[in-house]
Structure 1
């Protein structure tokens, strides 16, 4: 079962996916307007990829079924690595209590490519679960994500520099998940915090291989 709070959260993010573009994402996270030159540099190298949240249903299938009913193209769940490890650090989860999955769902074909939802799913059948209650209050895993379309040849480093030096975003960790996009070397992520929330840079491959 997907509870009312989590269901409502996902429905709100559906509206975000439909109504946002790269400029709106960057300006919202940055907390204000962005210089035209900075935006042009980002637009040449990035697209708005997804918006993300963490939910706590009874089963992973509850999230998959809901997104499918809402008309999304839902990818098969894959194990989470980065968010799982962040949850372990925050809550001291045991080895038998850290089964976090990622469900990605895509919709439409806007000019800059498909975009969608990234849902981190941590099944917690108990309604008074302390981890779920704490994470719903903090929303530490909520974020927007930009996909770096050409990360090699210094592309990823340049985008990172734009976010940190021009937009004063603060690095907030990074990681690599070999389960996502296994055929292209997995998926790398870099997180940043800013006045308007958290931003993720994502790209195919591993930094060790030019990402």
Structure 2
């Protein structure tokens, strides 16, 4: 079963994805942005997804809900980066932290428009302490930009646009070999700002786009 709080969170995320583009995402996280910075980002990146973490009884419960809402769901694949973050924050045993990633798109736009990224950590009890803490903090909620054309300067230039151009603060990252395995996995870098968290995602390892 997927609880009411997590179900409501997913519903709000659906509405956000439908109404946002790269500019709105950047301004929501970082505030008003210089038009030249936005243009430079838009020439290299697209708005890829909005993400959250939920705690159902089973991964299949989330798949079922999204399917009933008209979404095409791919996965699940094991998470690496989020699992490690949860283990560090809560002192969990890695064997008890089987986090999965689900990707979902509205059926009419599958693969061609921003979608949802849902991290799923099944927990047996609705009042589970980890679930309560994460629902309060929303540490894993974020918007994501996907690098499509690193262009001049590669990923270093994209990172510079986020840090120097938008005053975002680097907040870790990593590489997940299970997601998009056919293209070398997926790398992510996280950034924080007063308005929330932003993820920069790139196919392959980070060095591939440097």
Q: Does TM-score exceed 0.5, indicating one fold?
A: yes
Question: Is the Cα contact below 8 Å between 1:153 and 1:210 reproduced in 2?
Answer: no
Partner of 2:45: 46
How do 1:154-173 and structure 2 match up within 5 A?
154-173=153-172
The structural deviation recorded for 1:208 is 3.1
Unpaired runs of 5+ residues, structure 2, are none
> What is the aligned partner in structure 1 of residue 64 from structure 2?
65
SS at match of 2:46: strand
Does the 8 A contact of 2:44 with 2:151 survive in 1?
no
SS in 2 for 1:40: helix
Once residues 90 and 150 of structure 2 are traced to their aligned partners in structure 1, the CA distance between those partners, rounded to angstroms, is 33
Q: Would the aligned equivalents of 1:150 and 1:156 in 2 still touch at CA under 8 Å?
A: no
Q: TM-score, normalised by structure 2?
A: 0.95
Q: Over the residues paired in the alignment, what is the CA RMSD in angstroms? A: 1.6
Q: Distance in 1 between matches of 2:34 and 2:62?
A: 38
Once the two structures are superposed, what CA deviation does each residue of 1:59-102 show, in whole Å capped at 9, x if it has no partner? 00000111111111100200000000000000111132110000
Question: What TM-score results when the alignment is normalised by the length of structure 1?
Answer: 0.95
Please name the residue that 1:174 is paired with.
173
Corresponding residue number in structure 1 for 2:18: 18
How many aligned positions are there?
Answer: 209
Residue matched to 1:97:
96
Counterparts of 2:184 and 2:152 in 1: how far apart (Å)?
A: 17
What stretches of structure 1 of length at least 5 have no aligned partner? Answer: none
| Partners of 2:49 and 2:78 in 1: CA distance | 18
Query: 2:150 & 2:140 partners in 1: Cα distance?
Result: 24
Contact between 1:100 and 1:122, CA under 8 Å: does it hold in 2?
Answer: yes
Q: Note closer, same or farther for the CA distance 1:36–1:209 as it changes in structure 2 (3 Å cut).
A: closer
Q: Give the Å deviation of 1:153.
A: 6.2
Asked if 2 retains the 8 angstrom alpha-carbon contact of 1:45 and 1:155, the reply is: no
What residue number does 1:193 align with? 192
The Cα offsets for residues 95-120 of structure 1, whole Å up to 9 and x where unpaired, read as: 3211000011012449x932100000
Q: SS in structure 1 opposite 2:167? A: coil
